[in-house]
Structures are given as C-alpha cells and as structure tokens.
C-alpha cells in the first residue's frame, strides 16, 4: 500500500457515518485533495484534535481504491487565537471557500499554499480591523493574479474581486453575506 507524507491545511470537513470524517485539505505537495479520516470522531481518537478546520498539519496519506485515508497526523500550527474570534473565523472560512471552489483538485501550487499558511498565521496574530481587511483584499488579488485570472497590475475593490471569483467558479459564494454582517458590526 502506497503512502505519501504531506504538509496540509484543513479547509473543510464533513461527517460521514458514525465515526468517520471526509476532509478537504490543501497540501503543499499534492494540492487540494479529499481524504477520509476513519474513526476520527470516536472519543478515543488521538487524531481528532489535529484535524480541526484551519489546522496546519503534517499527515501521512495512504492510498485506497476509493478515497485516500489519513494515517498518522501531527500539528504544525493550530491557530489558537483565530479559533477564539468570530470575525477571524468568518474571514478564514471565506478564504477557505474561495480556495476550495477555485483551485482544481490534485494540482500542486506551493506559492498559493505558502501564501495561505502565511495569511492564516498573520490573521491568528492580528488585532487591527483595517489591516485585516487590506490583507484579505491583497490575498485574493494576489491569488487570482498568480492563478492567471487577473493581471498583477490591475486594481480592484474587494467587491470587484469577489465578482471575478464568482465569475470563475460560476456561482455565488456562500460566505459573502457573513462578511457583510461582520463588517457592519
């Protein structure tokens, strides 16, 4: 049985059955992939704490006939401050949704991975609202430029950038309303 060791950030998770969970992770080595974490929802699971959304982990992925599954896992960065702030969580979910929808599966892009990991670390440590807003706009602009959807020199407001994202993915983003609610409070 073949296995691969990857550094990854958990973007999304879905509970399956009584004890399993399907994860969408963005890895430096393999790009965006779906994996299954068998038994992770059991109370005795040692991997559960490492596989929370937005955790940056080192994991061993074992291939199978259906979905690859998570073997061993260890935390690289857990973003503890980020998980304590509703505003920061909303921003992280928003960017995770953009990455999940715009990035193709199994396409490695180390630049975007490093940029997202750096953004999450900065968001985890950040306290000023204006800095976070400009960093979010810069992240989305830089990601779209790097992926070839925008010219690097073009200037866009964040609403225009979201319009570009939605035209690429051909559907509206679910987290946009959440961001508008947070920006008003």
User: Is 127 or 176 the better-scoring residue by pLDDT?
Assistant: 176
Superfamily of domain 3-77: Nucleic acid-binding proteins (2.40.50.140)
Residue written as token pair 């892009």: 109
pLDDT in tens, 136-165: 889 999 999 999 998 877 788 888 999 999
Provide mean pLDDT across the span 66-74. 91
Mean pLDDT of the chain: 88
pLDDT value at position 135? 85
Q: What is the CA radius of gyration of the chain?
A: 17
The overall pTM is greater than 0.85: yes
Examine the pLDDT at 73 and tell me if it is beyond 70: yes
Query: Which two structure tokens, joined as six digits, stand for 105?
Result: 């599966």
Examine the pLDDT at 49 and tell me if it is beyond 70: yes
The pLDDT confidence band at residue 82, using thresholds 50, 70 and 90, is confident
Provide mean pLDDT across the span 79-104. 90
Percent of the chain with pLDDT over 90: 57
CA atoms of 65 and 36, how far apart (whole Å): 12
Examine the pLDDT at 29 and tell me if it is beyond 90: yes
Examine the pLDDT at 64 and tell me if it is beyond 60: yes
Element (H, E) at 74: strand 69-77
Domain borders along the chain are 3-77, 82-184
User: Is 65 or 154 the better-scoring residue by pLDDT?
Assistant: 65
The pLDDT confidence band at residue 180, using thresholds 50, 70 and 90, is low
Q: Single out the residue of 126, 60, 61 nearest to residue 92, CA to CA.
A: 126
Provide mean pLDDT across the span 26-50. 91
pLDDT value at position 128? 60
pLDDT in tens, 85-95: 888 888 999 99
Q: Under 8 Å CB-to-CB from 51, ≥6 apart: which residues?
A: 10, 13, 21, 23, 37, 40, 57, 70, 73
CA atoms of 88 and 95, how far apart (whole Å): 11
Q: Single out the residue of 7, 33, 42 nearest to residue 103, CA to CA.
A: 33
**Any bridge partners for residue 109, and if so which?**
none
Q: Are 64 and 142 in contact (CB under 8 A)?
A: no
């Amino acid at each position: 049985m073949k296995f691969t060791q990857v550094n990854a950030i958990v973007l999304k998770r879905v509970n399956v059955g009584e004890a399993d969970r399907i994860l969408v992770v963005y890895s430096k080595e393999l790009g965006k992939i779906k994996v299954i974490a068998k038994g992770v929802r059991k109370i005795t699971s040692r991997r559960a704490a490492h596989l929370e959304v937005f955790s940056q982990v080192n994991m061993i992925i074992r291939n199978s006939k259906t979905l690859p599954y998570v073997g061993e896992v260890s935390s690289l960065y857990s973003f503890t401050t980020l998980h304590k702030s509703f505003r920061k969580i909303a921003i992280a979910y928003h960017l995770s949704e953009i990455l999940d929808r715009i990035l193709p599966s199994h396409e490695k892009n180390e630049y975007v991975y490093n940029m997202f990991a750096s953004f999450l670390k900065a968001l985890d440590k950040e306290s000023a609202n204006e800095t976070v807003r400009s960093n979010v706009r810069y992240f989305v602009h830089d990601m779209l430029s790097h992926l070839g959807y925008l010219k690097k020199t073009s200037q866009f407001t964040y609403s225009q950038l979201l319009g570009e994202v939605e035209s690429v993915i051909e559907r509206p983003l679910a987290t946009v309303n959440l961001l508008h609610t947070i920006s008003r409070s």
